[in-house]
């Protein structure tokens, strides 16, 4: 049976075009896949001939992984190198064309800075034995390595392990120059990484002769001198071109520790160090034993300069100040400064005395101090324990967290907003977002006066003030108005001192409390005079007028609280005998930094203690060593002077309940101490120690018994 078929529909031209396109795509994809598979098969067959097995396979795998890790390490090194190379921006070769001679407050010359350090003598004109003495001691393979001497580093490590102490350094001359030109002496991993990259950069951009020239011209050589030519003139009264072998060996020995081996301070130590240099010259093959024999038998003698100590940290800061205020075109100057050598010596002695006595116990190695007289004159700067070992000025350049020593700026802002010392707030727990600060004691309280909270350094109270009543911007603004130049963060944790500040900033800010609420008086230069006698700058005439930043009411309230901290608060070890003082302690997280900043009617001083590598101390607080350093130094500074009152302190505001409890605790502590001393066997002291103790007792007669007594074990340090 025939079934009728429906007529087939005729396709249009568009449908036909799409069908042809679909067929073309299918065939093209098929051909592409087929050719790719052919290519892959051919490549597989080709590389199959390189297939290895056994130990060769493991070698190839190791090399492959090594290349992968090397590529990743190269990217990481590049990321680390970029910050280092940023240090090379600017004219790093120039020392500036200033030549400044500095005089202290009494007109005595205390040092020089700038091109007056002496003109450079080309390396080619220096005697051969001078260059050999330096290279044999500092970098024997200087002309063989490319910035970093790995063989010398290995040798130094071996010798240090063998001697069980640091007897040799591993840094090349190029590395030391990189540190001198671009970096600081802070012992951090970041600094060492930068130093390594900058060493390679110097080697790529300078010749060996240029690197050696810069090293010899820029290194600190003790006695306030920079460069080997200045040192030759200072110690021997001659040019470096005229040095004998014995004199060259003595100068070459200064690069390691210029303060320790300075011949005008310790000639026996300098001669012993020179003998080590002569040994190095023989060991390195630069000279024979016969050639150095005369230098051993006839060691160098130095020009008698007395025991003049150069206030190098102060001079570095004052030199920067001169550059800021000197008129354009006038660069050869005599600067009359505010420097006081007696106060400087007292500050240095107090830092060194306490770090020698208690440094190991508290695991602290460095300190910094700034002393400012009430008229704004900067009298002393201690930028570290040893300028020869580290020219980094910790007093003016190091940014360190301030801890509770920042709280006066918070409380001062509160006083400006209507609070008073007897205002009552809660000292209970407080949360600010996801931040819940704790008190040092670990406990919380109830209602408390601002005075009580301040002297006990309770953390939750200033946080509550900032959160509920003040906010961060006005606190930051007042701190900056009071003279703080360090960049302050605008984070809420700032109220507990998490922002980094310099010791100079702290002393400047607290000096406002001693100067009746005024700021703008801090200065280190009183006059700049040309060598013809023309006065080109006079602080009394040219400096901007001081301005008030704290109202009289706020100032009176703040000083009422600050003066109670040494009496009933956290700084009782800073209390001065028969002298009213005020201040605040500060301790940062993990005990990395400890502060005491205080003032009298005559002086303001800030003290910081810590470690260059940010290692935590052994539970050191601002009320311990910093307060003790401040107290010893200020006792000396106030001898034989007219005592000035602290502004606003006629009848100090005292919380009588707190004062009574503090007095009772002091009596109990004194009784326990007397009982302990009574049962202890008196130590047998040498005549020298007895004389030293008698001298100290006369100096500190009448001082409060708040400093821990000297124990027999610690007497040996005297």
Q: Which domains does the chain have, with CATH numbers?
A: 126-297 (1.10.3810.10), 342-679 (3.40.710.10), 680-718 (no CATH)
Q: pLDDT grade, residue 376 (50/70/90)?
A: very high
Out of 79-83, 246-250, 489-493, give the one with best mean pLDDT. Answer: 246-250
Question: What is the pLDDT, as a whole number, of residue 677?
Answer: 42
Q: Which of these is catalytic: 120, 138, 199, 377?
A: 138
Active site residue 404: yes
Question: In terms of pLDDT, which residue wins out, 613 or 192?
Answer: 613
Residue 128 has pLDDT above 70, yes or no: yes
**Range 72-98 average pLDDT:** 64
**What's the sign of the alpha-carbon dihedral 634, 640, 641, 642?**
positive
Angle among Cα 127, 133, 134 to the nearest 5 degrees reads: 100
State whether the Cα torsion 523-222-629-618 is positive or negative: positive
Q: How confident is the model at residue 186 (pLDDT cuts 50, 70, 90)?
A: low
Residue 416 reports pLDDT greater than 90: yes
Of the listed ranges 382-391, 433-442, 458-467, the one predicted with least confidence = 433-442
pTM above 0.85, yes or no: no
- Which of 61-65, 159-163, 442-446, 519-523 shows the lowest per-residue confidence on average (mean pLDDT)? 159-163
Q: pLDDT class for 327, splitting at 50, 70, 90?
A: confident
Is it the case that residue 11 has pLDDT exceeding 80?
A: no
Average pLDDT over residues 621-639: 95
Residue 659 pLDDT: 47
DSSP per residue, 384-431: -S-TTT----TTTT--EE-GGGGHHHHHHHHHHTT--TT-EEE-S---
DSSP state letters, 443-495: ---SEEEHHHHHHTT-SHHHHHHIIIII-HHHHHHHHHHTT--SPPP-SGGGG
Q: Which helix (H) or strand (E) holds 17?
A: helix 13-48
Sheet containing strand 109-114, edge to edge, reads 109-114, 99-103, 332-337, 525-530, 535-538
Look over the chain and give the mean of its residue pLDDT values, rounded to a whole number. 82
> What would the pLDDT profile of 638-689 be if each residue is shown by its tens digit?
999 999 999 988 644 444 444 454 455 555 555 554 554 444 334 433 444 4
* DSSP structural state of residue 114: E
CA distances from 669 to 455, 663, 665, 707 (A): 19, 10, 6, 12
Residue 138 · residue 212 · CB < 8 Å: no
pLDDT given for residue 693 in this prediction: 40
Phi and psi based region of residue 230 (left: phi greater than 0; alpha: psi -120 to 50; beta: remaining) = alpha
Neighbouring residues of 145: CB distance < 8 A, sequence distance ≥ 6: 151, 152, 172
Q: Which of 45-54, 84-93, 503-512, 539-548 has the lowest mean pLDDT?
A: 84-93
What is d(CA 657, CA 582) in angstroms, rounded to the nearest whole number? 20
Structure tokens at 577: 């005998």
Question: Residue 482 and residue 501: Cα distance in Å, rounded?
Answer: 13
According to the per-residue pLDDT averaged within each range, which of 60-69, 164-173, 211-220 is highest?
Answer: 211-220
Task: Determine the pLDDT at residue 10.
Answer: 57
Question: How much is the pLDDT for 652?
Answer: 44
Convert the pLDDT of each residue in 235-248 to its tens digit.
Answer: 998 999 999 999 99
φ and ψ at residue 185, rounded to 5 degrees: -95, 10
545-587: per-residue pLDDT in tens?
999 999 999 999 999 999 999 999 999 999 999 899 999 999 9
Asked if residue 411 has pLDDT above 50, the reply is: yes
**Is pLDDT of 480 > 90?**
yes
In terms of pLDDT, which residue wins out, 565 or 304?
Answer: 565
CA–CA gap between residue 106 and residue 199 (Å, rounded):
44
More confident residue, 189 or 165: 189
d(CA 337, CA 524): 5
Catalytic residue among 219, 390, 404, 427: 404
Average pLDDT (66-82) is 72
How large a percentage of the chain has pLDDT more than 90?
Answer: 47
Alpha carbon distance 404, 596 (integer Å): 10
Answer whether 262's CB lies under 8 Å from 254's CB: yes
% of the chain exceeding 70 in pLDDT: 80
Higher pLDDT, 408 or 227: 408
CB neighbourhood size of 150 (10 A): 11
pLDDT at 350: 96
User: What average pLDDT does range 460-464 have in this prediction?
Assistant: 92
28 carries an active-site annotation:
no
Measured in Å, how far apart are the chain's first and last C-alpha atoms?
133
Q: Residue 405 — very low, low, confident or very high, per pLDDT cuts 50/70/90?
A: very high
The pLDDT value recorded for residue 688 is 41
Q: Where residue 203 falls among pLDDT bands split at 50, 70, 90?
A: confident
pLDDT at 205 (0 to 100): 87
């Amino acid at each position: 049976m025939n079934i009728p078929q429906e007529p087939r529909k005729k396709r249009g031209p568009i449908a036909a075009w799409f069908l042809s396109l679909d067929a073309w795509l299918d065939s093209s994809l098929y051909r592409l896949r087929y050719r790719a598979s052919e290519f892959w098969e051919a490549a597989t067959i080709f590389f199959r001939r390189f297939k290895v097995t056994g130990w060769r396979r493991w070698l190839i795998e190791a090399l492959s992984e090594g290349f992968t890790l090397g590529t990743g390490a190269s990217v990481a090194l590049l990321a680390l190198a970029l910050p280092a190379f940023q240090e090379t921006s600017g004219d790093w070769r120039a020392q500036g064309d200033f030549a400044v001679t500095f005089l202290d407050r009494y007109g005595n010359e205390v040092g020089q800075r700038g091109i007056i350090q002496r003109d450079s003598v080309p390396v080619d004109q220096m005697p051969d034995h001078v260059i050999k003495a330096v290279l044999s001691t500092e970098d024997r393979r200087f002309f063989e390595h490319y910035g970093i001497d790995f063989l010398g580093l290995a040798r130094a490590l071996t010798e240090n392990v063998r001697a069980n102490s640091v007897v040799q350094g591993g840094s090349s001359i190029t590395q030391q120059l990189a540190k001198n030109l671009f970096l600081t002496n802070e012992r951090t991993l970041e600094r060492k990484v930068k130093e390594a990259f900058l060493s390679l950069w110097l080697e790529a951009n300078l010749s060996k002769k240029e690197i050696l020239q810069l090293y010899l011209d820029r290194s600190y050589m003790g006695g306030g001198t920079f460069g080997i030519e200045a040192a030759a003139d200072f110690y021997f009264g001659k040019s470096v071109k005229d040095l004998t072998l014995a004199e060259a060996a003595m100068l070459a020995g200064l690069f390691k520790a210029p303060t320790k081996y300075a011949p005008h301070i310790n000639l026996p130590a300098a001669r012993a160090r020179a003998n080590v240099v002569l040994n190095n010259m023989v060991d390195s093959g630069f000279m024979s034993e016969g050639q150095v024999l005369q230098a051993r038998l006839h060691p160098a003698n130095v020009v008698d300069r007395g025991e003049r100590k150069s206030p190098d940290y102060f001079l570095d800061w004052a030199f920067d100040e001169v550059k800021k205020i000197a008129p354009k075109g006038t660069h050869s100057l005599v600067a009359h400064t505010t420097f006081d050598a007696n106060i400087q010596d007292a500050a240095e002695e107090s830092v060194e005395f306490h770090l020698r006595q208690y440094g190991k116990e508290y695991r602290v190695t460095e300190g910094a101090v700034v002393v400012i007289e009430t008229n704004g004159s900067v009298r002393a700067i201690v930028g570290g324990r040893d300028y020869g070992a580290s020219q980094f000025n910790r007093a003016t350049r190091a940014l360190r967290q301030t801890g509770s020593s920042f709280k006066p700026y918070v409380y001062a802002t509160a006083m400006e907003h209507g609070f008073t010392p007897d205002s009552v707030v809660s000292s209970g727990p407080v949360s600010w977002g996801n931040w819940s600060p704790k008190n040092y004691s670990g406990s919380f309280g109830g209602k408390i006066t601002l005075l009580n909270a301040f002297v006990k350094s309770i953390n939750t109270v200033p946080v509550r003030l900032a959160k509920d009543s003040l906010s961060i911007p006005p606190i930051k603004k007042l701190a900056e108005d009071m003279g703080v130049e360090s960049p302050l963060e605008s984070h809420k944790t700032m109220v507990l001192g998490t922002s980094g500040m310099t010791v100079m900033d702290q002393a400047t800010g607290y000096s406002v409390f001693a100067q009746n609420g005024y700021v703008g008086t801090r200065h280190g230069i009183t006059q700049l005079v040309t060598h013809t006698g023309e006065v080109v700058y006079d602080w009394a005439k040219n400096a901007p007028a001081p301005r008030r930043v704290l109202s009289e009411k706020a100032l009176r309230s703040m000083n009422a609280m600050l003066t109670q901290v040494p009496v009933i608060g956290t700084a009782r070890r800073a209390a001065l005998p028969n002298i009213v003082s005020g201040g605040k302690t500060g301790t940062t997280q993990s005990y990395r930094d400890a502060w005491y900043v205080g003032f009298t009617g005559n002086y303001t001083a800030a003290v910081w203690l810590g470690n260059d590598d940010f290692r935590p101390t052994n539970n050191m607080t601002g009320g311990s060593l910093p307060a003790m350093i401040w107290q010893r130094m200020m006792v000396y500074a106030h001898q034989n002077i007219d005592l000035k009152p602290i502004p606003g302190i006629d009848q100090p505001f005292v919380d009588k309940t707190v004062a009574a409890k503090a007095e009772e605790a002091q009596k109990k502590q004194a009784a326990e101490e007397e009982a302990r001393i009574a049962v202890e066997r008196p130590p047998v002291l040498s005549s020298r120690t007895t004389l030293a103790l008698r001298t100290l007792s006369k100096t500190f007669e009448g001082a409060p018994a708040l400093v821990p007594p000297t124990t027999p074990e610690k007497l040996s340090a005297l």
